[in-house]
Chain A
Amino acid sequence: MSVGVKRGELNAMFGFAERAMHSVRRYWMWEVVWLFYSMVSVLSIGFLASGLGTLGAGGVGFDLRRAQLYLLIGSLLWGYLSLVFMEAAYAIAWERWEGTIEYTFMAPIRRTTHLMGICLFAIGYGLLRTFLVLLAAIAIFNLDFSHADVAGALAVLAASTLPLIGLAIFTSVLPMVSPQKGEQMSFAVQGFLLLVSGVYYPLTVLPVPLQVAGYASPLTYTLEGMRQSLLSGATVIDELPNVLLLLAMGAVMIPAGVWVFSWAERRAKRLGLLKRSG
């Protein structure tokens, strides 16, 4: 790829993110509503953890503060991950709804550029919103991160970006496959990931078939790594196995996601599904 082409692709990638930012600005009231919803979801999990003692949980060796942090990390990360999935799937569904998808698909750019532009915005936007919710959670629950290794947690978070992009691309395929039900199908996929990825409980409590699905989910290793670093102070070195595994998953999932999306695009062009009414 020549320098000019690379610059053009980067420009287009920025174009997708810029368009999404314009959209956030135009729909700012809705953004406030969604931020409120994210906060309420995370805070309710925090309060649920606070009430565990009164519900009879506990006993010798039960650390309520640790349990609360465990659940809040799950809730915060899940909020972030589900937001990225939703943004990626919504970006395609929204284009279908507005009828602009044909114009986007007519543009002389690589599909990878298109999908990366969508995913990078989704990740940046998800991180910002999650950070705001985290600040609220720290203020309300007086969270103790004194044992945390922030560098280790950030290494896991950074490595998780690759498989997350892969998963987001897979999610964005759904509105291409089914114009009517694709967006709803992405919620079903999200729900399954929530079930098997150890967001609120360890994988060991699941039946074996679900555990197997859980071990195939990159979210499992993201959550595990983040908890190890934030609860037990695992360093970057300690996190290397998780980091390498996440990078390897990303190396497989991104090309696989782009391939599946290209297949869905070819199918849509064969069947005439790109048209708004289709």
Chain B
Amino acid sequence: MSTPAIEIHGIRKSFQRRERDPGAPWWRRDLREKVALHELDLVVERGGVTGILGPNGSGKSTLVRILATLLTPDAGTALVFGWDVMRHAREVRRHVNRVSVEASFFKELSPWENMVYAARLYGGGDSGTRAHVSSILERLGLPLDTLDQPMKQLSRGQQQKVAIARSFLTAPSLLLMDEPTTGLDPRSKKEVQAMLEMLRAEREVTVLLCTHDMGEAAALCDRVLMMDSGRVLADGTPVELCERHESLTLEDVFMQLTGKAFEAQEEGEAEEEAGGVVAP
């Protein structure tokens, strides 16, 4: 039996921040703890798309950051292809890449310059990379004449496609996609989803897809985990979840489990986990 792509045992993460009570003197701030992830156990086998569904503040991004070696858990272990994210971070990094909700680039540089930079960090160079990048971007429907324009001149959708191309460039075995289609126009969203469907069919890459979009999760994911307030509430295929809860949609399942409407949670904008920290 092959090693699972992800194996998590008892992972917990909380953040502390200083807050002033109403009416308290301006200099008096108390430390408050916000639990982003309660003890979490999870095994994801290789291949396919696993969706993590949940509103802001549910712990999705915290989970992704822990797997990407960008956050240290308070307790528990997380293994990626058998490598511990804490003790074998460099081995984990060789196998993982990430697409986040913000397409993070050097905005003044062109997509090509950003790509070459990423390629060099993963042992590649510029020879052969341009053809590879062009073919990925073509599949994503990005005009190739954008390759040498500054990133800041590209639309949000185009930037996100470049971010996806960047993640493919390093041939990751585990792709962590943290709301990759949020904020995209419908056409770009469809193109990105088509790319994900292709990945799902190929099953060469394990994809962990965090999303708000219940329809997207139902269409793309082989397995769905529903999260709220740092806890996994449900786990199964989209069909299983709907059948188990006698619901027609995943949104109804979420409402049944939490007693809250998904959209209302969105607007409530529960504080994003890492942003809650007050830096010195």
Stretch binding the partner chain, chosen from A55-63, A172-180, A208-216 = A172-180
- The reply to whether B122 and A102 form a contact with Cβ atoms under 8 Å apart is no
- The reply to whether B70 and A105 form a contact with Cβ atoms under 8 Å apart is yes
Asked if B6 is an interface residue, CB under 8 A from chain A, the answer is no
- The reply to whether A15 and B116 form a contact with Cβ atoms under 8 Å apart is yes
Asked if B96 is an interface residue, CB under 8 A from chain A, the answer is yes
- The reply to whether A19 and B109 form a contact with Cβ atoms under 8 Å apart is yes
Closest chain-B Cβ to A87's Cβ sits at a distance in Å of 15
- Given A15-B116, A103-B118; A181-B280 close (CB under 8 Å): yes
- The reply to whether A98 and B274 form a contact with Cβ atoms under 8 Å apart is no
Stretch binding the partner chain, chosen from A64-72, A126-134, A160-168, A270-278 = A270-278
Closest chain-A Cβ to B61's Cβ sits at a distance in Å of 8
- The reply to whether A19 and B117 form a contact with Cβ atoms under 8 Å apart is yes
- Given A23-B109, A100-B105, A276-B102; A106-B93 close (CB under 8 Å): yes
Residues of A within 8 A of B123 (CB): 7-8, 11-12
Asked if B29 is an interface residue, CB under 8 A from chain A, the answer is no
Q: Once the chains are docked, how many angstroms separate the CA of A180 from the CA of B65? A: 21
Closest chain-A Cβ to B131's Cβ sits at a distance in Å of 19
Asked if B100 is an interface residue, CB under 8 A from chain A, the answer is yes
- The reply to whether B71 and A269 form a contact with Cβ atoms under 8 Å apart is yes
- The reply to whether B98 and A99 form a contact with Cβ atoms under 8 Å apart is no
Contact bitstring A166-194, B, C-beta under 8 A = 1, else 0: 00000000000111110000000000000
Candidates A23, A108, A181; contact of B93 at CB < 8 Å: A108
Asked if B277 is an interface residue, CB under 8 A from chain A, the answer is yes
Asked if A232 is an interface residue, CB under 8 A from chain B, the answer is no
Q: Once the chains are docked, how many angstroms separate the CA of A24 from the CA of B23? A: 50
- The reply to whether A272 and B98 form a contact with Cβ atoms under 8 Å apart is no
Q: Once the chains are docked, how many angstroms separate the CA of A23 from the CA of B100? A: 23
Residues of B within 8 A of A179 (CB): 279
Asked if B181 is an interface residue, CB under 8 A from chain A, the answer is no
Q: Once the chains are docked, how many angstroms separate the CA of A105 from the CA of B72? A: 13
Q: Once the chains are docked, how many angstroms separate the CA of A99 from the CA of B103? A: 8
Enumerate B61-83 residues with CB–CB distance to A below 8 Å. 65, 68-72
Q: Once the chains are docked, how many angstroms separate the CA of A266 from the CA of B125? A: 29
- The reply to whether A19 and B68 form a contact with Cβ atoms under 8 Å apart is no
Residues of B within 8 A of A273 (CB): 274, 277, 279
Q: Once the chains are docked, how many angstroms separate the CA of A179 from the CA of B279? A: 7
Asked if B213 is an interface residue, CB under 8 A from chain A, the answer is no
- The reply to whether B72 and A278 form a contact with Cβ atoms under 8 Å apart is no
- The reply to whether A178 and B117 form a contact with Cβ atoms under 8 Å apart is no
Enumerate A1-49 residues with CB–CB distance to B below 8 Å. 7-8, 11-12, 14-15, 18-19, 22-23, 26-27
Residue tally, chain B, CB below 8 Å to A: 43
Binding site of A, secondary structure by majority: helix, strand, loop or mixed? helix
Candidates B70, B120, B279; contact of A18 at CB < 8 Å: B120
Asked if B143 is an interface residue, CB under 8 A from chain A, the answer is no
Candidates A18, A22, A272; contact of B15 at CB < 8 Å: A272
- The closest CB in chain B to the CB of A185 belongs to B280
Asked if A109 is an interface residue, CB under 8 A from chain B, the answer is yes
Asked if B216 is an interface residue, CB under 8 A from chain A, the answer is no
Residues of A within 8 A of B93 (CB): 106-108
Interface centre among B91, B107, B121, B277 (most CB of A within 10 A): B121
- The reply to whether A12 and B105 form a contact with Cβ atoms under 8 Å apart is no
Candidates A8, A18, A105; contact of B117 at CB < 8 Å: A18
Asked if B104 is an interface residue, CB under 8 A from chain A, the answer is yes
- Given A19-B113, A102-B100, A107-B121; A278-B108 close (CB under 8 Å): no
Residues of B within 8 A of A18 (CB): 116-117, 120
Residues of B within 8 A of A8 (CB): 123
Closest chain-A Cβ to B171's Cβ sits at a distance in Å of 12
Residues of A within 8 A of B109 (CB): 19, 22-23, 26
- The closest CB in chain B to the CB of A107 belongs to B121
- The reply to whether A27 and B121 form a contact with Cβ atoms under 8 Å apart is no
Closest chain-A Cβ to B266's Cβ sits at a distance in Å of 18
Asked if B130 is an interface residue, CB under 8 A from chain A, the answer is no
Candidates A12, A271, A278; contact of B121 at CB < 8 Å: A12
Closest chain-A Cβ to B2's Cβ sits at a distance in Å of 22
* Known A106-B70, A107-B121, A275-B65; 20 more pairs at CB < 8 Å: A11-B120, A11-B125, A12-B123, A15-B121, A18-B120, A19-B109, A22-B113, A23-B106, A27-B108, A94-B106, A98-B104, A98-B107, A100-B104, A104-B121, A108-B94, A108-B122, A270-B71, A271-B15, A271-B16, A275-B275
**Can you list 18 A-B pairs, Cβ within 8 angstroms, ordered by A?**
A8-B123, A15-B117, A22-B106, A22-B113, A22-B117, A23-B106, A98-B104, A98-B106, A108-B93, A108-B94, A178-B280, A181-B280, A266-B72, A271-B277, A272-B273, A274-B70, A275-B65, A276-B104
Which residues of B pack against A, CB within 8 Å? 15-16, 65, 68-72, 90-91, 93-94, 96-98, 100, 102, 104-109, 113, 116-125, 150, 272-277, 279-280
Query: Which 8 interchain pairs have the tightest Cβ spacing?
Result: A15-B120, A272-B274, A99-B104, A107-B121, A108-B93, A8-B123, A275-B274, A108-B94
